Amino acid sequence: LQVTGDKVMIHIYQMNDTSWIGPYHEVNVKFGAELRGKCIGSYSPYLFLSSDVGVTHGREIHGQPKKLGNPSLEYQGDLIVGKLERNSIDVLTGTLPYKQHEAEISELSEIFPFSTNINLKAVDHIDGSPAIRQLTSRSLADVKVTECWRGPSTTELRPNAQAPIHRLPVLEMLDGFYWQAEFSLVPGEVLLDYLQEDK
């Protein structure tokens, strides 16, 4: 798996109607990645959800590094404020002016194709030996974007040993995006099975 580019996206989602799971919030930290000849998308080193069911499903089925946290997305006057709290510490705060400049979702996708998520699924046997070592991918399907806005944004990161997003320091802020959409979460696929490759 190869990193593509030098940009990191932080998505703060408000999932209003998720089948089986219900409403929840999610913070997804991702950067561009490619498995040459097979898949181009994004890799997530950090994922935090307010849903214990969502954490379990994402980790056990897809191998996503999900942890329980307290993400939020609020509208405070003319400002959109996204936060992540874990261990009673505000780990991340992002701000974006409320709906200032209309945009197209393709402007965000140009950074890297974020709608396909690539994950390392690693599960051990009871004795600690490797049971599963796979690169998996999962893409959003049936995406219908209803609105998209962009503008100057800010990001503040605070150290937390259990949520070390601060390891990816902010060197330069790019525009932020606010968008609403409907999409389907579909089953993914195994891109590479390391244990089969070794046989």
Q: Per-residue pLDDT tens for 94-152?
A: 999 999 999 998 998 888 888 899 999 999 999 999 999 999 998 888 889 999 999 99
Quote the tokens at residue 165.
């997003």
Is the pLDDT at 9 greater than 80? The verdict is yes
- Residues 23-35: what's their mean pLDDT? 92
Q: What is the per-residue pLDDT across 73-108, written as a single tens digit (0 to 9) for each?
A: 999 999 999 999 999 999 999 999 999 999 998 998
- Amino acid letter at 79? L
| 121 counts as catalytic | no
pLDDT higher for 132 or 23? Answer: 132
pLDDT on residue 155: 93
Q: How high is the mean pLDDT of the chain?
A: 90
pLDDT on residue 79: 97
Please pick, among 66, 67, 83, 144, the residue that the annotation labels catalytic: 66
Beta strands in the chain (DSSP E): 2-15, 24-35, 39-49, 66-68, 70-76, 79-86, 89-97, 101-102, 116-124, 130-151, 154-157, 176-185, 189-193
Most distant pair of Cα atoms in the chain: their distance: 59
The C-alpha atoms of residue 66 and residue 195 are separated, in whole angstroms, by 23
| Helix locations, the chain, DSSP H | 52-57, 105-109, 194-197
The C-alpha atoms of residue 127 and residue 150 are separated, in whole angstroms, by 50
131 within 8 A of 125, measured Cβ to Cβ: yes
Is the pLDDT at 70 greater than 90? The verdict is yes
Q: Would you place residue 198 in the very low, low, confident or very high pLDDT band (cuts 50, 70, 90)?
A: low
pTM over 0.85: yes
Q: Which residue carries 């800010």 as its tokens?
A: 154
Residue 175 exposed, middle or buried by CB count within 10 Å (0-12, 13-18, 19+): middle
119 within 8 A of 135, measured Cβ to Cβ: yes
